[in-house]
Structure 1
């Protein structure tokens, strides 16, 4: 049985969401269908606002409706420590855990040869410029604990090869193959507190 065209189109759009299969997408579409006209209009307006009003912060890459973002404008934050994350979602996870009070830099991607993903030279150059402009003393590389995260980490290390400060990486607490976005506060705190300093050749040193 084929669905009415508007419903079929919405199901197809929901299926593009991460982790959403056909049945879940259909359930979500019927949920919207059974809500009031006002709800549908508010949902549509929220989606339009999401794309039209939010943009990457020119300083750190966080998604924001003001430029620079509120984190970059906060004079109370530690401006000598920079945490490098893959996505704005990872930034939000760390920030909401309330365990880190420095600044951030969002790479906006990762290195994944199987998926044809690479970090752009422009973004890595922007990271280096950010480090220099802050006169940062420590860069924390908070990439996800999986193969792609390791490759991304080494790309960041290479981009910062002339950086004379300390480079550290999140350590135990995060499960291998896991994701920062799904880690709880205690896990993130353990990973951040036990971060390890990286040597210039890419091999981690013991201790902080």
Structure 2
């Protein structure tokens, strides 16, 4: 049985979502078309304006609709700590775990030779500026525990070597090959508590 072209187009678009296969996309598509017109109109309107209303925080790179984002603007955050993560999803996972109260910096890139990816000099400069601007005492590099995360970590370690700041990395708790995005609160807590110091060069 062939599906109507509009429905097949919707399924194809839904299949682009991470972790969504043919059956899941088809199930979601049928759910959408079976909803009242008001639901479809609201969903279409939201999607249409999403890219216009959301943007990156100019300070940390988090997804936000205000400048700066709520985390950077919070006066109660510990500005002595700066956690470097790979994506907004990683930031969200840490926030939901409720185990960290410092500031963040989201990398716009990673080191992955197989994919031809590398950290740009502009991105490194942005991070250095963020560290100096916040006068951070410790930078926690929270890249994911896989090959790309390791390469990104060592690249950052080299680029930040001359800064007078303590640098640490998340350690035990996060499985090799896993992602921060899918880690539970206990796993993240263990990783933070057992982070390993890789450089100690404190500000005077």
TM-score over 0.5 for the pair: yes
| Alpha-carbon offset, residue 68 of structure 1 | 0.6
SS of residue in 1 equivalent to 2:96: helix
Deviations 1:27-52 (A, max 9, x none): 11111111111111111122223211
Report the count of equivalent residues. 200
CA contact (8 A) 1:86 1:107 kept: yes
For each residue in 1:70-108, what CA deviation from the matched residue of structure 2 results, as whole angstroms up to 9, or x when unmatched?
A: 111111111111000000110011011110000000003
The equivalent residue for 2:13 is 13
TM-score (norm 1): 0.92
Task: Return the alpha-carbon distance in structure 2 between the equivalents of residues 159 and 46 of structure 1.
Answer: 41
2:165 pairs with 1:165: yes
Structure 2 counterpart of 1:129? 129
Deviation at residue 119 of structure 1 after TM alignment: 2.1
Other-structure match for 1:27: 27
1:149-198 CA-partner distances (Å, limit 9, x unpaired) = 10111121122111121100001011110000000011101101110011
CA distance in 2, matches of 1:199, 1:73: 29
TM-score, with length taken from structure 2 = 0.94
RMSD: 1.3
Counterpart of 1:70 in structure 2 is 70
Unaligned runs of 5+ in 2: none
Runs of 4+ that moved beyond 6 A:
none
Match of 1:206 in 2: none
Unaligned segments of structure 1, at least 5 residues: 201-208
Distance 1:155 1:10 in 2: 41
